[in-house]
Structure 1
Amino acid sequence: MRACPGRRPREVATSATTRFEALLRDYQTPEVVEGVLAVLRVWEGQDGHHVYGKGNETSCFPTMEVGGPSESRAVWQIAIYPVSGTVEVVFQHLKRRPPFDDEPLRRALMDRFNTVDGIDLAEAKLDLRPSFPLEAFAGHGEDIRAVLEWFVHEVALAEARRPFDEDSVQAAF
């Protein structure tokens, strides 16, 4: 995220967070709002952070950084759109990001999302960005949270299995 002139990066993030939450409250039911915000709080508790879109509809991407000091990369699985009331599962982007560059792992993620009431992602969209209604967070936030926790676990497991690169560690010091 780029800072605005005269504003510190934390202020920019705070204003994006505020804008996202305001849009969410303006366009969604209280049950949906609470479900979404509860899942995002859990995401932060797992060392994740949020990246926000810059369009009129301030979208939110629960993101995690993986990799070593010299090769950090962002991984995210969903994009939340508070006005249109949709959540995209970003398989299109995941197919270029380990460990979800592995098709069976993307399929497992799709299958886990599809176990949640109100979510029905089409198999034909495994390489695209299928969406589901934000209403799925109302009453099923725990189930969605379990899918995101599984995602974090799979990413962490893949990172732990990566070969140790001494050159990148030495370059950091």
Structure 2
Amino acid sequence: MSETVRLVCPAGRKHVELWAGYALVALGAVAVAVDPSHWANVTLGVLLVLVGAALAVHGHMIKSPVLEVSDGEFRYERGRYIVRVPFHDIGSYHVLPGRIRSLGLCDTAGRPKRFPSLQNRRTSRAYLPLTGMTSPAKVESFMAVAGIPPRKRSLTS
């Protein structure tokens, strides 16, 4: 496959922290603008701006999972954690249901592939965590465009 196919999973916590941070900064500016001569308004405004800025900065630091298929390679990236699998080693996939969805990959024989843990522990896992806002339909359409069949329709199941 010569084209790059990419899916960025939406992170709800990131959106909430960004919107809340920007709202608190605006609320702090309004609190100071209402009556800048009173010390309580200025103190409240400065505190709101500082908390809002900290919340917005923390929201920008949250990394969303990215699925990408390009140049014969499947890549999963979440912050500094990167998993690379040769495209020809993937036989099928399945999306695990739950509050936080996960993507499981199977090899050409139908066995689940194992990946190192996200927290540098000695255990390994058979799935790649996505986010709770990730729609299974979007993952299925991404995998269909990439050319990876679902587990229930794979030839080896």
Q: TM-score range by the shorter chain?
A: under 0.3
Task: Specify which structure has the higher proportion of strand.
Answer: 2
TM-score (ref. length: structure 2): 0.22
Task: Specify which structure has the higher proportion of helix.
Answer: 1
Radius of gyration: which is bigger? Answer: 2
